[in-house]
């Protein structure tokens, strides 16, 4: 006797859903995570949307219901995100935590330089915003490489590569191979914040976790740990507004 087996394929999850609150639509990205035990919501300042994490075996319809029940929370958090600020003439941009005004100098040679509280940009106006962002990335690399090497030498660990990216979900990351990545936006924060993130990631090369031993190492490397964490909690999301809308 033959046995017929029928397989039913589940339709793929949508990448995002729309939640309406008081007549306004908000985008909510869906992410199915095997380790998740419940539905969780968080807001991403960089992409100006919300993300809903759902357990592996949960139904999309339940995720939609959960998001709709929390429509007010989503709306409130997203509405608090500051408006995007492009790197255009007159924009005020924090460089190492100090406000600088972007000014165009079309008659000057060179690319970008800092002078008397201003970020001065030479060349054609069409490329001004990109030149400012490239300049900030170079400055970020310079400061982060110096801080990373300094802490790595103190801890006696080897850093194999330092990458500068535009990470939206984290300020830095470290791998067991010794590679460390940072968000270039750390150059917008005060130096003690950048130093803390460098110490944090270097400490991961000794402890790939967030155990008490890991935090003890970070404190030994960077005494300003608590003020830096507090600064990021209050101001971190605001750093993602700069450079958007190019």
Place of tokens 């080897």: 158
Average pLDDT, the chain: 89
- Counting residues of the chain whose pLDDT is more than 70, the rounded percentage is 94
Q: What is the pLDDT of residues 56-82, one digit of tens each?
A: 888 999 999 999 999 999 998 888 877
Distances (CA, A) of 149 to 128, 158, 162, 195: 32, 9, 10, 11
Q: pLDDT at position 232, please?
A: 94
CA end-to-end distance (rounded Å), the chain = 67
- 26-46 pLDDT, tens digit each: 889 999 988 889 999 988 877
Q: What is the mean pLDDT of residues 225-233?
A: 95
Q: What is the pTM of this model?
A: 0.77
Rounded Cα–Cα distance for residues 205 and 117 (Å): 37
pLDDT of residue 111: 87
Q: What Å distances lie between residue 50 and 21, 40, 42, 79, 223, CA to CA?
A: 14, 10, 6, 11, 34
Question: Model confidence over 108-129: pLDDT tens digits?
Answer: 877 899 999 999 999 888 889 9
C-beta separation of 19 from 68 below 8 A: yes
């Amino acid at each position: 006797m033959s046995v017929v087996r029928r397989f039913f394929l589940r339709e793929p999850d949508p990448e995002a859903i729309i939640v309406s609150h008081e007549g306004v639509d908000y985008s909510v990205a869906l992410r199915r995570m095997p380790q998740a035990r419940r539905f969780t919501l968080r807001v991403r300042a960089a992409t100006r949307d919300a993300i809903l994490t759902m357990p592996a075996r949960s139904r999309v319809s339940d995720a939609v219901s959960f998001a709709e029940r929390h429509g007010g929370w989503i709306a409130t958090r997203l509405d608090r995100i500051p408006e995007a600020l492009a790197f255009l003439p007159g924009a005020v941009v924090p460089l190492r935590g100090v406000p600088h005004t972007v000014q165009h100098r079309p008659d000057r040679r060179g690319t970008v330089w800092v002078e008397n509280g201003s970020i001065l940009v030479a060349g054609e106006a069409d490329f001004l915003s990109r030149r400012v962002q490239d300049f900030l990335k170079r400055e970020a690399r310079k400061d982060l490489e110096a801080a990373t090497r300094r802490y790595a030498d103190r801890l006696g660990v080897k850093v194999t590569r330092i990458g500068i990216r535009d990470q939206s979900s984290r300020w830095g990351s470290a791998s067991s191979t010794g590679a460390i990545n940072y968000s270039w936006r750390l150059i917008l924060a005060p130096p003690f914040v950048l130093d803390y993130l460098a110490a944090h990631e270097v400490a991961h090369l000794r402890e790939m976790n967030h155990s008490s031993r890991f935090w003890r190492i970070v404190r030994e490397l960077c005494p300003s740990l608590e003020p830096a964490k507090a600064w990021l909690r209050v101001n971190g999301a605001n750093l993602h507004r700069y450079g958007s809308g190019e």
